[in-house]
Copies of this chain bind each other. A is one copy, B any other.
C-alpha cells in the first residue's frame, strides 16, 4: 500500500498512468514520446509503477508492452478514500461548530 502511494506521488508517473489509461499496451518508446526526460528516466518510473503493481509488462519480441493494472488504485479508493468520505460531513460540521464556539 505504501508503495502504491509513493508511486502515485510523482506527477511524471501519474501522467504515465494517464497515458496508459488513454491507450493501454504501449511500448517503452511510445511512452517516452513528448516527455522532457531520457528513456532511462522513464524506464525507472515504469519500474516503480510495476513494483507497486500498478502496471504489468509483457515482452513481445524486442518490444515491451505496458498494461495498466487498476486493482491497487481501486484498493486505495476502497480502503482509504471512501473511509474518509464517509465522515466528510461529520468532520465539516464539527469544524464549523468549533469555529462558531470561538475561543471557548
Partner-B contacts on A (CB < 8 A): 2, 5-6, 8-9, 11, 14, 17, 21, 24-25, 56, 58, 60-61, 65, 67-71, 73-74, 76-77, 80-85, 87-88, 91-92, 94-95, 98-99, 103-104
Contact = CB atoms under 8 A, between A and B. Distances in A.
Copies in the complex: 2
A91 B24 contact: yes
Contacts of A69: 91, 95
23 contacts: A5-B9, A8-B9, A21-B84, A24-B91, A24-B94, A25-B98, A60-B104, A61-B103, A67-B98, A68-B91, A70-B84, A70-B85, A70-B87, A70-B91, A70-B92, A71-B88, A73-B81, A74-B84, A74-B85, A76-B81, A77-B77, A77-B81, A77-B82
Contacts of A70: 84-85, 87-88, 91-92
A24 B99 CA distance: 13
A87 B56 contact: no
